[in-house]
């Protein structure tokens, strides 16, 4: 069969399959990420029917998926909101780092993956999935709850940590010297600082530069700017994902809202390809040997995230039910954990077992997170003789 025809058939089958998996996930009320990963495992290395003719396209599409994921995450926040969130949540954010990065690092060292593996796994277990959490909070009607700003503040802090972590990780994975690593981190900090200052002081000009009343022109300008900034950031040894995130922060107001609505379908498409590609590059046979450790990490980091949310909500004077909801909301891991593991695997600096462990872990946490958020109230009420917050409407929201 002609190469082009075969590639089109395979690509069409992938997209159609992703659509079917997404619909199935919607029907059973869960994130589609685990199903996308499973789909990739089924048709990748060691899968049922390996796909070999669309590698170049899917690799580039997956990179675009990462850029769009981070761009739209940045569009959710303004620079002022980031600073406000940082001031409000920095103590809880530090606790979050200590409690949730440590399990991944410890397991990596136990498995003999060395300092680089420890740094990678620390990031995998630390960062919650903003996408899954935002969707779950919306689906459950909790966006107006008293504990939700606490959850969002912690997510903002995590995003800022990622803006520093990813450049450091990129330098470490590149095998640069200590001096080279410090240079890369210095450049990253300088770029991040400059962009945040531009976003805070001149964000309206950035918005005006990409804005357009014509939908086609607007889409081309925003997408082009995102890819351009991501490429330049990557060339400067700053993660392309961080570059896209910072551009999203710089775009504000109605321009950011319009860009979000315009780019969401593209993000969903290319992000789905990214998750599938990660699955394609992971041999299913490598998962059973690390499944036990994935379960250990899932249990440990579920407890640490619940503890983080509970403690942070308590500091804000929120009731017990609100604290429980805040902790359960933070459990899910997803896109960022896979991005981190994907960068490490692509650089060839870690063992394939790490990719397998990250995949199994994200599969578990992407299912466990939304489930925990849904059942936390019934479980908490069942453990009490009377429901929390029955005295007043104010306390019912935590």
By CB neighbour count within 10 A (0-12 exposed, 13-18 middle, 19+ buried), where does 12 fall? exposed
**pLDDT computed for residue 395 by the predictor:** 44
Q: What average pLDDT score do residues 63-87 get?
A: 75
3-state secondary structure the chain: CCHHHHHHHHHHHHHHHHHHHHHHHHHHCCCCHHHHHHHHHHHCCCCCCCCCCCHHHHHHHHHHHHHHHHHHHHHCCCHHHHHHHHHHHHHHHHHHHHHHHHHHHHHHHHCCCHHHHHHHHHHHHHCCCHHHHHHHHHHCCCCCCCCHHHHHHHHHHHHHHHHHHHHHHHHHHCCCCHHHHHHHHHHHHHHHHHHHHHHHHHHHHHHHHHCCCCHHHHHHHHHHHHHHHHHHHHHCCCCHHHHHHHHHHHCCHHHHHHHHHHHHHHHHHHHHHHHHHHHHCCCHHHCHHHHHHHHHHHHHHHHHHHHHHHHHHHHCCCCHHHHHHHHHHCCCCCHHHHHHHHHHHHHCCCCHHHHHHHHHHHHHHHHHHHHHHHHHHHHHHHCCCCCCCCCCHHHHCC
C-alpha–C-alpha distance, residues 58 and 90, integer Å = 38
C-alpha–C-alpha distance, residues 145 and 148, integer Å = 5
Is position 11 within any domain?
A: no
- Structure tokens that stand for 51 in this block: 């796909």
C-alpha–C-alpha distance, residues 260 and 265, integer Å = 9
C-alpha–C-alpha distance, residues 245 and 260, integer Å = 13
Q: With contact defined as beta carbons under 8 Å apart, do 309 and 150 qualify?
A: yes
Q: How confident is the model at residue 237 (pLDDT cuts 50, 70, 90)?
A: low
**pLDDT computed for residue 156 by the predictor:** 75
Write out the residue range of the structural domain in which residue 138 sits.
31-49+58-380
**pLDDT computed for residue 10 by the predictor:** 77
Is position 23 within any domain?
A: no
Q: How confident is the model at residue 380 (pLDDT cuts 50, 70, 90)?
A: confident
**pLDDT computed for residue 301 by the predictor:** 96
**Which segment, 243-252, 328-337, 347-356, is predicted with the most confidence on average?**
328-337
Q: How many CB atoms lie within 10 A of CB 187?
A: 16
Q: How confident is the model at residue 393 (pLDDT cuts 50, 70, 90)?
A: very low
Q: How confident is the model at residue 54 (pLDDT cuts 50, 70, 90)?
A: low
Is position 184 within any domain?
A: yes
Q: What average pLDDT score do residues 160-181 get?
A: 73
Given a cut of 50, whether residue 323 has pLDDT beyond it is yes
Q: What average pLDDT score do residues 331-351 get?
A: 80
Q: How many CA atoms lie within 13 A of 223 on its CB side?
A: 16
Q: What average pLDDT score do residues 84-95 get?
A: 79
CATH number at residue 117: 1.20.1530.20
Give the percent of the chain with pLDDT over 90.
Answer: 21
Which is more confident, 396 or 8? Answer: 8
Lowest mean pLDDT among 123-127, 304-308, 345-349: 345-349
Which is more confident, 284 or 31? Answer: 284
Give the percent of the chain with pLDDT over 70.
Answer: 84
- The CA-atom distances, in angstroms, between 13 and each of 43, 51, 55, 214, 280 are 11, 10, 14, 33, 14
Q: With contact defined as beta carbons under 8 Å apart, do 255 and 218 qualify?
A: no
Given a cut of 90, whether residue 355 has pLDDT beyond it is no
Is position 9 within any domain?
A: no
CA 326 to chain centre: 18
Given a cut of 80, whether residue 12 has pLDDT beyond it is yes
Q: How confident is the model at residue 34 (pLDDT cuts 50, 70, 90)?
A: confident
Which is more confident, 215 or 242? Answer: 215
Q: How confident is the model at residue 136 (pLDDT cuts 50, 70, 90)?
A: confident
Q: Domain count of the chain? A: 1
Residue 177 has phi, psi (to 5 degrees) of -70, 170
Is position 62 within any domain?
A: yes
pLDDT in tens, 138-153: 777 887 788 888 887 8
**pLDDT computed for residue 385 by the predictor:** 56
**pLDDT computed for residue 394 by the predictor:** 45
Contacts of 61 (CB under 8 A, 6+ apart): 270, 273, 274, 277
- Structure tokens that stand for 226 in this block: 């995102």
Q: With contact defined as beta carbons under 8 Å apart, do 330 and 308 qualify?
A: yes
**pLDDT computed for residue 388 by the predictor:** 46
- Structure tokens that stand for 59 in this block: 């690799």
C-alpha–C-alpha distance, residues 124 and 356, integer Å = 12
Is position 389 within any domain?
A: no
Given a cut of 90, whether residue 95 has pLDDT beyond it is yes
**pLDDT computed for residue 239 by the predictor:** 65
Is position 371 within any domain?
A: yes
Q: What average pLDDT score do residues 110-122 get?
A: 92
Q: How confident is the model at residue 179 (pLDDT cuts 50, 70, 90)?
A: low
Which is more confident, 47 or 63? Answer: 63
Given a cut of 80, whether residue 53 has pLDDT beyond it is no
Is position 14 within any domain?
A: no
Residue 29 has phi, psi (to 5 degrees) of 70, 45
Q: What is the pTM of this model?
A: 0.72
b (16+ CB within 10 A) / e for 316-355 = bebbbbbbbbbbbbbbbbbbbbbbbbbbbbbbebbbebbb
Q: What average pLDDT score do residues 75-99 get?
A: 79
Q: How confident is the model at residue 87 (pLDDT cuts 50, 70, 90)?
A: confident
């Amino acid at each position: 069969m002609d190469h082009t025809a075969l590639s089109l058939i395979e690509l069409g089958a992938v997209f159609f399959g992703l659509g079917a998996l997404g619909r199935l996930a919607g029907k059973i009320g869960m994130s589609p990420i685990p199903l996308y990963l499973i789909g990739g495992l089924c048709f990748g290395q060691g899968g049922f029917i390996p796909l070999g003719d669309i590698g170049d396209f899917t690799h580039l599409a997956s990179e675009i998926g990462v850029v769009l994921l981070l761009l739209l995450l940045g569009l959710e926040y303004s620079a002022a909101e980031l600073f406000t969130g940082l001031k409000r949540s920095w103590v809880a954010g530090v606790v979050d780092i200590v409690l949730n990065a440590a399990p991944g690092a410890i397991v990596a060292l136990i498995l003999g993956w060395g300092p680089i593996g420890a740094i990678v796994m620390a990031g995998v277990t630390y960062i919650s999935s903003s996408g899954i959490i935002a969707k779950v909070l919306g689906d459950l009607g909790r966006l107006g709850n008293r504990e939700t700003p606490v959850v969002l503040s912690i997510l903002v802090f995590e995003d800022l940590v990622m803006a520093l972590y990813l450049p450091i990780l990129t330098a470490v994975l590149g095998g640069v010297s200590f001096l080279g690593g410090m240079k890369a981190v210095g450049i990253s900090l300088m770029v991040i600082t400059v962009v945040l200052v531009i976003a805070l002081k001149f964000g309206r000009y950035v918005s005006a530069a990409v804005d357009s009343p014509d939908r086609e022109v607007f889409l081309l300008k925003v997408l082009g700017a995102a890819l351009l900034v991501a490429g330049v950031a990557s060339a400067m040894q700053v993660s392309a994902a961080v570059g896209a995130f910072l551009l999203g922060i710089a775009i504000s107001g109605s321009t950011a809202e319009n860009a979000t609505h315009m780019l969401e379908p593209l993000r969903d498409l290319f992000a789905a390809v990214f998750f599938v590609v990660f699955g394609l590059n992971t041999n299913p046979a490598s998962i059973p040997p690390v499944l036990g450790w994935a379960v250990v990490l899932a249990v440990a980091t579920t407890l640490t995230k619940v503890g983080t949310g509970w403690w942070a909500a308590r500091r804000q004077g929120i009731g017990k039910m609100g604290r429980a909801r805040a902790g359960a909301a933070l459990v899910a891991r997803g896109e960022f954990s896979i991005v981190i593991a994907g960068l490490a695997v692509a650089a060839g600096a870690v063992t394939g077992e790490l990719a397998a462990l990250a995949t199994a872990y994200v599969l578990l946490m992407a299912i466990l997170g939304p489930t925990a958020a849904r059942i936390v109230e019934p479980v908490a009420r069942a453990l009490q003789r009377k429901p929390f917050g029955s005295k007043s409407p104010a306390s019912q929201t935590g």
